[in-house]
Structure 1
């Protein structure tokens, strides 16, 4: 198992306070060269003496040097010897007596090697472990100033870390300004750098003067997936080439230059011989040509074309034979020299290719890792924004992170693995920020008969009785036997079912006719609406005893008042000149809401359009959007039919939940129940119920 730590430190000094501190995190190169892991030290003194900072600095330097120059490579033994050195030399280093040290001094020293943690502490500094969403004080408060004798660091605490653990090495000031829950949420939810920034910015925002000394360590255990991918996909030659490149990387500076200088020397010494060989070859070639000319001239008088061709072929063979004989006449030294020159040329060309290719890969890798780091920074900033409850900023940062992810190339298994990890993390953040939930295992209320095609919306009355229509027939969902009961028929294809008043259901047909049905006896009667000239009835809604008609022909909304058994003369409801083109749905809850073909939702009040927009929707709403609400609902319910998702927003437009129907058939209609704790869904072949 491979282990890694992410670390950051924070030290804030109150110029008017009593404390001075020094926080140390060992550089990563030291842990690699010594094999003793990473060292962390927090030292604090309750004194405003001017020389205290230099004393603390010297103390930490000597402790770290003594630890990393330990004769043993065992982390626990090295820390123990460093603690002994501290106890024996603390007086000489600080120039203070033991009483002053015990009263004024606090120190915590910790080391992590692989997954092992060793800590020694004295005074008011503590180590806190955050694991499984719980906080543990693993140094028992750190307040051991009542120890007797001359030893200060007199105990070691050791244990095993697991993946996801977070360590907080700190003085107790942090608990005076932040609750345990806030500290836990911050250090476990953010990267150490962002967590330190959060604490610092919060204290600065509130202009709090404190003495703050903290190290945050996040411990991670890497899986072997990246290496397994490489091992499974790479061939032997590729691995060998990679090893060779690594050897070149590790070679001391100047070796490559020395090799080529040597080759150049060989070339210079053999130049005369090469020239002589070339000259001989040229002479041989010329002589061969003259002899060939002579013989060809003698044959020129012959008129048989096939014999001329044969003669030329024979001449070529003879010339080649002479050249081959000359090649065979070279001695062993000449052979070796030529082979050496060829080999040197091949090596030189190959080395240039390797170096250039290495540089190219190095640049690409650096660019890749820089983008990865930037994306991780965006993700950490998203976490910080969520802690501040700034969802808009979190969404903006997430969008930026996704844009950066699109720029990432993934040409090798390692990059492919990193890319997939980032993609998965961003998908997780998307679900978290946008409150995305996939609808799983909804309760089936009824299975629609085969070839049953509903033509209306699904409607739930105040008693949560569910109605729907097919053609001219109205059905009630029987939740007891999970069947459909036909309750009424009218003339004309039914388009919409709308609540009108107690025990009354308003029915709109595709041709614009309006009916009223009594839900007690299911009697239905047609009512007459006086429509304006050029009227094109697009949709209607009810509010109280009024009908609101969306008229596409006159680009207006008309209001009808109910008068005992009929509706009176319509009146224009809009007072402005707003263009209603493209709107297909109207619902009324006191305000008038319209849904357009492009997914745009508009709000009107007292005849005038108001500023309204949905906030927090993941991806733009598509053109096929159904809008549902009424005067008793607290929310707007939007069905995005194209993307098979449902958005629930309050009436200011803030989306609170987004339900994904990825595991369902195509959803065609929705209706909340009367208390908005459940939602009814109608798909192409079932009616479901889900909890909200």
Structure 2
């Protein structure tokens, strides 16, 4: 029976500041004990511990090991227990450990802050995993999916505000199962302070355990951590018991060799006979057998129809007339049958048909009479010639069919080889970081496969090649599918008919969004996630469609009537006397207290400089008259200015003049982008594309970095980017979501 055994690797980095005691533990039971009771693992990182803290860690782990692997306990558990019994047995181990820790703390003074410590104790047997945590421990499951990628599942994470009772350290367990290709990782907060979840995921899933630990340790040491960091990585390996040795006692070697020799000789004779026999002979034999079978069937049919002679002196009984079969009662069926019979009778009784039939019968009779008048040698020669002619026609027909099949198979092999060459060429392009070329070759390969006839669509090689091409394309899309995004606020809780305006702005720790129906503000406090409804001091008449933050306490708003407003941190709103000569603005952005207003009507950008506590008169900022921005939807700045066009293009400007910006193709293409965001400190541009329900992140070199897509993004309005917190705040309808960044 195949079994899975746990492969556990550990990581521990200690900056040697003192003040903490840490240890990583992995049990090393025998194979029988691991199969029966599992493999114990854990770590403990005690904050503020005195030297007695190390003794506490050692006693905690020793007590757990002794209780789990003692012979009597394994025997009572029954060896290979199901998952429920495994969890129950682990609970008994934790109770024993709690008692030992309580006894230790009563006799020693460690000064340990269990609230800030990280303790993990777990057990894995085959695919069943059960853990218990104390303090600041985070666990992830990297689940391998059929799409050849990994889904990140949070197993456990620190819960703020939960107190730890040192006398009852382990209070609950978490149980689950591990897939054959899954990887579980548990770590302290010290690791997540320096490495992102995306780095952990790609390193752990892309390398073997020891290599992953070595790369993570190198990255940690490069970051010069100030706090200890511990981690445990768990995967599964398949264990197959060694087969039992074959018993060769009293084996008849001579008899076996003789039988093998006779089989080989008979096989060789059959193959030689096939090679030496002409190809025509099997066809003649087949035709002759067919003639024999046909003749036998004909003689049997004639014999069955011949009436039997009555025995002499036997009484002759009157034979009743045959009973006609019952006719179907359905009138329509009777009509069809009658029509068919009438039509057939008329056809055969037609004069032309009768004449043709008579001519054919006369010709056949003349040929047969002439054939019978020949000598037997001539008859045999003619019959043989006819047989050979039939065989020749048969072979020619089958040969042409085989040639057609061969031509189709050759064309199929050529198309398949071309698709595989394109796949390999795309892989070679990726070596040189040419994602655009790789994407073009992969799409060309799929186009070639689509041209194959439907009969080859289910061919295993075609299915495999198509799956490989699609897998590579999905990797090049850099797509993150968010099944259930984290909801931070639902403004429908304040107003059932709330409908958010297409903009959002952040001031300090608060996010502001407008209710387009009532024109009031909704706010979300990012610190405590509380929402509120605010009536501004000055009533708003229009719906806001763009906003930009001047600082942490002030923002500029733009409504759909082109009015420009200023919002202070005290929720005070006052209008700004800014009028554009070319029509109303559709978007506003700021950089170092200067305002930039996009006028789609005139296809240009106006800049307003600060003056007298407000802003001066807007002036045309575009220095190149060839720049046409009439299809622009939004703009953003980082020193350079980026303008988003309705067709998904991006125009980069510096000092009012266009600058080359090579935006690489995005798959699938942008179909209706509305917002673009960046900052001076960011290396990325964030694009909002509501029709495709996604947020597209591209580098400022034009290369695609990531795509965040969710079915829940059905009414995207605006985004606010916080790279420091690695979060994108998404306004969708009346809901506000938080999307974690995986590209940083």
TM-score, structure 2 as length reference:
0.47
